[in-house]
Amino acid sequence: MSRLLEMQEGSFYTGQYRNLFKEIGKTDEEISTRIQRNWNELFNGNEDTRIYYPVGDDLGYMLDTGNLDVRTEGMSYGMMMAVQLDNKDVFDRLWKWTMKYMYMTTGENAGYFAWSCNPDGSKRAYGPAPDGEEFFAMALFFASHRWDDGAAPFNYSVQAKDMLRTCIHKGENGDGYPMWSPENKLIKFIPNCEFSDPSYHLPHFYELFALWAYEEDRPFWKEAAAASREYLKITCHPETGLAPEYAYYDGTPNNENGYGHFFSDSYRVAANIGLDYEWFKGDEWEREEANKIQAFFADKDPADYRRYTIAGEPFEEKSLHPVGLLATNAMASLAADDVEGKKWVELLWNTPVRTGVRRYYDNCLYFFSILALSGNYKIWMPNK
């Protein structure tokens, strides 16, 4: 089968999304009830489950409950969740809060978003994190396609295109640094460094940016999609499938500060390859990778998840986010072989949202997995 025909089996081409919960015997009513219950726990629940907090009449933020700050990661995640569930009020509240408090207008990071703020809006940091920008842009495009553009800052598609232009062209006039390397088209961990975070790589987003960004930027994003898929092949361990949190451009782990191992950031790689495979059938390697990750964790109790070398050697240190790890392993089932993959789907179905102080990151990954495995993490195409 040709490469083009393989890709055309993905949801982008067919408009069809697998519902793995239904494949394990859950009914439509059970699934829709579960999604709404989990949404309510995260967005309207009590202080042991909620991570979203409305502010006044038109603002809201996502709280990192473990660090008591508001991050571009969480804000962009919340926007993606909201647009997938057609909740324009929550989406607009989050975006307006982001623009009011996180957007930077001066200094070398002008045009980017401060990655960490206090709940009152004051900045904790004046640097950006590229995983926030890429999720903001994708959520904004989907919002434009679901609800149409409005007046600024709700001219969603313009905001997305401007953001992506800044991400790849900043620094051309000596005014800072781009978020993607102009040479190799790989996303950076932060703009003023020359290494990456494998979990930032979202080739399925870049394929869509290549359609909807400003026309002159579209070839860059097409190249970025291909570059990211190839990068993950050299970054993930060939036997375990595990990825480090940070890695150099040649794929080797960046362990300068202990981030060359499999830990919190790394969990997202499994989710990302699952969604890329679902949307675009991006690369058959993704099926092999999903199988390896699920096989590595098959005999491990979530209560005993740990930090691991990418070769699979465990540390004494326990995972900070075991529910998030379980959820991303389950989301990899979109690419994995059916028999083993469906065991993970069943495991996730039988796992509740995390409660308590560390719930934020776990439950973001958890909810994305619930959406994806139910066929509700969708590409929203333009209305026209």
Q: What is the pLDDT along the chain (384 residues), one digit of tens a residue?
A: 443 444 568 999 999 999 999 999 999 999 999 999 999 999 999 999 999 999 999 999 999 999 999 999 999 999 999 999 999 999 999 999 999 999 999 999 999 999 999 999 999 999 999 999 999 999 999 999 999 999 999 999 999 999 999 999 999 998 999 999 999 999 999 999 999 999 999 999 999 999 999 999 999 999 999 999 999 999 999 999 999 999 999 999 999 889 999 999 999 999 999 999 999 998 999 999 999 999 999 999 999 999 999 999 999 999 999 999 999 999 999 999 988 889 999 999 999 999 999 999 999 999 999 999 999 999 999 986
The residues annotated with a catalytic role in the active site are: 73, 265
pLDDT value for 383: 82
pLDDT value for 339: 82
pLDDT value for 282: 84
Query: Exposure pattern of 28-64 as b/e (b: 16+ CB <10 Å)?
Result: eeebeeebeebbebbbebeeebbbbebeeeebbbbbb
pLDDT value for 8: 63
Residues 6+ apart with CB under 8 A from 261: 244, 245, 253, 255, 307, 308, 309, 310, 315
SS3 track for the chain: CCHHHHHCCCHHHHCCCCCHHHHCCCCHHHHHHHHHHHHHHHHCCCCCCCCEEEECCCEEEECECCCCEEEHHHHHHHHHHHHHCCCHHHHHHHHHHHHHHHECCCCCCCCCECCEECCCCCECCCCCCHHHHHHHHHHHHHHHHHHCCCCCCCCHHHHHHHHHHHHHHCCCCCCCCCCECCCCCCECCCCCCCCECHHHCCHHHHHHHHHHCCHHHHHHHHHHHHHHHHHHHHHCCCCCCCCCCCECCCCCECCCCCCCCECHHHHHHHHHHHHHHHHHCCCCHHHHHHHHHHHHHCCCCHHHCEEECCCCCEEEEECCCHHHHHHHHHHHHHCCCHHHHHHHHHHHHCCCCCCCCCHHHHHHHHHHHHHHHCCCCCCCCCCC
User: Could you tell me the domains of the chain?
Assistant: 1-45+198-204+217-379 (1.50.10.10), 52-179 (1.50.10.10)
- For the entire predicted model, the pTM comes to 0.97
pLDDT value for 77: 99
pLDDT value for 257: 85
Residue 187 burial class via C-beta count within 10 angstroms: exposed 0-12, middle 13-18, buried 19 and up:
buried
pLDDT value for 210: 98
pLDDT value for 6: 47
